[in-house]
Amino acid sequence: MEFRDLKKQYQLLKGDIDQAMADVAASGAFIMGSPVKELEQELAEYVGVKHCIACANGTDALTLALKALGIGKGDAVFVPDFTFFATAEVVALEGATPVFVDVDPRTFNMDPKSLDDAIRSVHDHMTLRPKAVIAVDLFGQPANYPELRIITKREGMFLIEDGAQGFGGSIRLPKPSGEGTMVKRACSFGDISTTSFFPAKPLGCYGDGGAVFTDNDEWAELLASYRVHGKGSHKYDNVRIGLNSRLDTMQAAILRVKFKAFKEHELADVNKAAEYYNQLLGGMTKFLRKEIRITTPYVPEGYGSSWAQYTIQLSVPSGEGTFNREALQAKLKAKGIPTMVYYPTPMSAQTAFKEYHNFALTPNAERLSKSVLSLPMHPYLTREEVRSVVEGLIYSI
Ligand SMILES: *Cc1c(COP(=O)(O)O)cnc(C)c1O
């Protein structure tokens, strides 16, 4: 069994993907060929924003967003303590200061109340300007944007959405008119939002890729400039220091084929797999030794996930003794069931960030880093496979 079965997906889409790659090879337009623009238009339309700027990877997408917003030295940028390293790394790379914020123990996403506390702590410290929040759609589920937006508005801060894992997620919100509701998709919640097309993400390419989304014309223009060496009116007119961060035409062509499958059935199929996991794990826990508790992922009412990961929590409710996660992973591996720990170390505990001041305590992130376990998850996972993972898990604990 594969943790994320990219080979099965390729076998099913092989005809169209091979054709798309051959077409690019025949065109000779390897850099900024027409599939890049076409993909950008399709993605912007799906997400429901005016501009999509494709780029080289999800980390660069964040860097481009920070550059377009003019974020740098002296700025505090609030990031969740429980995320992939890149979210905080880009902040430090731009010379700004990452401030780690605790997460909600049920959704794994940035906790608005903890954000408030961290902002207050930065204000008290008086050496940094609270400038932006980067909220992460962890494991495929959008962060609590309605509440985060209230805070960033009040503070005059930018809200950036790191949707690297979130593409395809959604939140049902009241219509601006006040009558009825509407579904708003991930990568439309930030002033600038980003995603990644790393192969294992909900929408992945065959190498590295990423994209930036915004409704703002001025930022869109800046993003396009920063993407190609800070270009001005033409390629050899350089008006600012930028990056070389284009998306290859080959990757765009592959993504167009995969995006079609994503919209037609993959997003629905991965949600079916999640439902089946929930159902089976909910029914099986009675067979567990009493002192171990399995908590299945929590998706709040009105939220939709694209299930970048299916992540359970294993805990010892009595608090007596600790659960040996590594031993469990080894037992599962021996049964042919791959598992992963996303993430074993909170950002504030990373060696690379040891010189940054900790403005807030992050007990939830610490606890999660010790208790989470991600199970095999992808749109091509069969019901039999889900059942064998759950059985393997129950009998290995
Ligand atoms: C994967 C990921 C990134 C970085 O994307 P790359 O394409 O690998 O550079 C950033 N943030 C989060 C939350 C991610 O999961």
C-alpha 261 chain-centroid distance: 20
Angle of helix 6-27 relative to helix 249-261, nearest 10 degrees?
Answer: 140
Say how many Å lie between the CA of residue 56 and the centre of ligand 1.
11
Q: Which residues line ligand 1 (CB under 6 A)?
A: 57-59, 83-84, 86-87, 136, 162, 164-165, 196, 198, 208, 210
At 164-197, the pLDDT tens digits run: 999 999 999 999 898 999 999 999 999 999 999 9
At 320-373, the pLDDT tens digits run: 656 789 999 999 999 999 999 999 999 999 999 999 988 889 999 999 999 999
Atom of ligand 1 nearest to the CA of 198: 7
Say how many Å lie between the CA of residue 59 and the centre of ligand 1.
6
* Pick from 127-141, 234-248, 282-296: least confident: 282-296
Task: Using alpha carbons, select from 328, 191, 352, 202 the residue that is nearest to residue 262.
Answer: 202
- For every residue of 238-268, DSSP letters joined together read B-S---B-PPBHHHHHHHHHHHHHIIIIIHH
C-alpha 295 chain-centroid distance: 21
Domains by residue range for the chain, with CATH: 6-100+109-258 (3.40.640.10), 265-394 (3.90.1150.10)
Say how many Å lie between the CA of residue 352 and the centre of ligand 1.
17
Cβ proximity of 107 and 133 under 8 Å: no
Say how many Å lie between the CA of residue 27 and the centre of ligand 1.
30
Whose Cα sits closest to atom 2 in ligand 1?
A: 164
* Pick from 12-21, 40-49, 351-360: least confident: 351-360
Cβ proximity of 252 and 30 under 8 Å: no
Res 315: pLDDT: 86
Q: How confident is the model at residue 316 (pLDDT cuts 50, 70, 90)?
A: confident
Task: Using alpha carbons, select from 247, 263, 251 the residue that is nearest to residue 46.
Answer: 263
At 239-284, the pLDDT tens digits run: 999 999 999 999 999 999 999 999 999 999 999 999 999 999 987 7
Q: Is pLDDT of 110 > 70? A: yes
Atom of ligand 1 nearest to the CA of 208: 7
Could you tell me the sign of the dihedral formed by the alpha carbons of 16, 19, 24, 25, in that order? positive
Task: Using alpha carbons, select from 229, 235, 216, 307 the residue that is nearest to residue 55.
Answer: 229
Res 247: pLDDT: 98
Task: Using alpha carbons, select from 397, 385, 376, 373 the residue that is nearest to residue 296.
Answer: 373
Q: Which of 87, 91, 342 has most ligand 1 atoms within 8 Å of CB, for mutation?
A: 87
